[in-house]
Structure 1
Amino acid sequence: MSSTAPLIAGLELGGTKCIALLATGPDDVRETRTIATGSDPATTLAAIEAVLDEWAFDAVGIGSFGPVQLDPAAPDFGSITATTKPGWTGTDLVQRLRARYEKPLAIQTDVNGAAIAEARWGASRGLHTHAYITIGTGVGVGLVVDGRPVQGVTHAEAGHMRVPRAPGDRFKGWCRFHGDCVEGLISGPALAERFGCPGQELPQDGPQWDLFVHDLTGLLHNLVMGFAPERIAIGGGVIAAREHLFERLRTRLAESLGGYGSIASYAGELDRRLGPPGLGTMAGPLGSIAMGLEALGA
């Protein structure tokens, strides 16, 4: 990387941890720090600021768990709105950091940021329509069309989509807003509540993953039928350690699509259309770097 490339302070805010990194891009990451996401936003943000205070940078990029107010005209622009993360509803991010550092700043949801990073540096380069799904503390979906995240009155929340339940599955769901939405069924906290132990302690090929594949396939079916993205990347802590599930997801998704219309050929191409992010576990953190570059128009 050229020494004249813009240096970005990137912040990926997750439900469990926040990652701060100083970088120009994936080939030039100068520093990375991890801060626990506590229940007191002021304490967490102060710890993040202590890291940023040590760095010199040209812009700030943020990819945050949501929901996030992304309408620049809204009085609470850049704040987290009603969220499942205890204590964080109403937390301002943009105004606080912009006032402290007086640098160009851009914000997106963590999944939208990761999707933009995948288009800039990863497996979605050159594609017009692609998606990034994260499965961790929550479930989020970033959908990008012609270089921009899909945005209506607010950003999409496809992770809270409802899907048909597996026969005999009576789990009420973890999401405190919707109960058995996708996030309420397959996120890390949902798996822990559903099966009585953290997801990382479940056996790699245990029967619990049959329900996971069933529920995630429902989300994928709706995403393909609604938008037919050229590629769907799935990342996040839950899936990153179990990439062997991709083959099962491809098989189940092809069955679910049912040979319908032009989607029939899509089902035959899932080996290249559905898989892990090209940037691996760095897709999320690099999403914040991509946002900082966007703040500079770079």
Structure 2
Amino acid sequence: MAEKLLGSIEAGGTKFVCGVGTDDLTIVNRVSFPTTTPAETMKLVIDYFKQFDLKAIGVGSFGPIDIHQDSATYGFITTTPKLAWENFDFIGALKKYFDIPIAWTTDVNAAAYGEYVAGSAQGLASCVYYTIGTGIGGGAIQEGQFIEGFSHPEMGHMIVKKHPKDTFVGNCPFHQDCLEGMAAGPAIEKRAGQKGQELPADHVAWAMEAYYIAQAVYNTTLLLSPDVMILGGGVMQQPQLLPKIRFEFEKMLKNYVKTPLLEEYIVTPKLGNDAGTIGCLALARKTAI
């Protein structure tokens, strides 16, 4: 009898990445669909997974989401700015077709878990993962468990100090000049008047970007003291950013606490773009046990 597979759904605000894999977290097949309406997108998701014999699915979704299993809206996307998905019963939609265990967390938690089990945090007790792209989100893990309480963290909306030379007012519809409002991809584009990937490596926008991300690393270091800080997402694919962030962080910290070597402490995802898929597969594997 063929081995049953694990399913993975990375539900992003721009696209859904669906895949299947084996218990050793090998990705066997993967596809991508644009995020449109729940009716359109979920039909593509369900039709895709109907092709496979699955034993569990791991879902990492854009949020905010309801993570509490005793809640009436567990498995829902809740107060998202993507209005078509507001109060959408994501897990309920899957359960109509797949009577199997389904793990449910945020997209950034899923990526953090991937790096924890098979990437930059493998073998460590704790990690924090930030994704810096169209939006900014963060997830934290301690001894294999997500750090969360009444809800999941929303690290991308922490308050940051403005760069002394920055006149941009911010782009967050809720908080204007929070971390996401100042440092996510759309903020870079609105500040500079062109997309980040079009800017030269020595553009002042990157010094400002490093300043804001370094504040997130600084704040998180003093709050949680994780073993490693992993910075992922499309913005972090700019190679000039990581050394700038380490430099700004060191200036801010002023040797107040002793961290691991910065080259080992502030890193990019070892799994690259596979972090979310592998994290969802690992969560599905854990749920299936």
Q: TM-score range by the shorter chain?
A: over 0.9
Q: Deviations over 1:49-71 (max 9, x none)?
A: 22112222111110111111000
Distance (whole Å) between structure 2 residues aligned to residue 128 and residue 93 of structure 1 = 31
Question: Which residue number in structure 2 is paired with residue 220 of structure 1?
Answer: 217
Of residues 166-175 and 65-74 in structure 1, the stretch that sits farther from structure 2 once superposed is 166-175
What RMSD over aligned residues (CA atoms) do the two structures have, in Å? 1.6
Question: Which residue number in structure 1 is paired with residue 88 of structure 2?
Answer: 91
| Aligned-partner residue type, residue 93 of structure 2 | R
Q: Equivalences for 1:148-163 in 2 at 5 Å?
A: 148-163=145-160
| Aligned-partner residue type, residue 246 of structure 1 | L
In structure 1, stretches of 5+ residues that fail to align are none
Question: Contact between 1:84 and 1:175, CA under 8 Å: does it hold in 2?
Answer: no
Secondary structure of 1:70 counterpart: coil
In structure 2, stretches of 5+ residues that fail to align are none
Question: Which residue number in structure 1 is paired with residue 233 of structure 2?
Answer: 236
Aligned: 1:207 with 2:204: yes
Displacement after TM superposition at 1:187 (Å): 1.3
| Aligned-partner residue type, residue 44 of structure 1 | T
> How many residues in Structure 1 have an aligned counterpart in Structure 2?
288
Aligned: 1:64 with 2:61: yes
Displacement after TM superposition at 1:204 (Å): 2.9
Aligned: 1:174 with 2:166: no
Q: When the two structures are superposed, what TM-score results if normalisation uses the length of structure 2? A: 0.94
Query: Cα 1:86–1:194, aligned 2, differ >3 Å: closer, same or farther?
Result: farther
Distance (whole Å) between structure 2 residues aligned to residue 26 and residue 132 of structure 1 = 22
Secondary structure of 1:48 counterpart: helix
Secondary structure of 1:32 counterpart: strand
Question: Contact between 1:221 and 1:253, CA under 8 Å: does it hold in 2?
Answer: yes
Secondary structure of 1:100 counterpart: coil
Question: Which residue number in structure 1 is paired with residue 139 of structure 2?
Answer: 142
Displacement after TM superposition at 1:23 (Å): 0.7
Q: Deviations over 1:153-188 (max 9, x none)?
A: 111111110111111423221111111111111112
Q: When the two structures are superposed, what TM-score results if normalisation uses the length of structure 1? A: 0.92
Question: Which residue number in structure 2 is paired with residue 253 of structure 1?
Answer: 249
Question: Contact between 2:27 and 2:278, CA under 8 Å: does it hold in 1?
Answer: no
Of residues 75-84 and 219-228 in structure 1, the stretch that sits farther from structure 2 once superposed is 75-84
Distance (whole Å) between structure 1 residues aligned to residue 218 and residue 88 of structure 2 = 34
Displacement after TM superposition at 1:133 (Å): 0.7
Question: Contact between 1:26 and 1:286, CA under 8 Å: does it hold in 2?
Answer: no
Question: Contact between 1:108 and 1:291, CA under 8 Å: does it hold in 2?
Answer: no
Question: Which residue number in structure 2 is paired with residue 77 of structure 1?
Answer: 74
Displacement after TM superposition at 1:25 (Å): 5.6
Q: Deviations over 1:230-281 (max 9, x none)?
A: 0011111111x21331111111111110111xx1x21x61110111112111
Secondary structure of 2:164 counterpart: coil
Equivalent residue for 1:22, pick from 20, 24, 30: 20
Aligned: 1:184 with 2:184: no
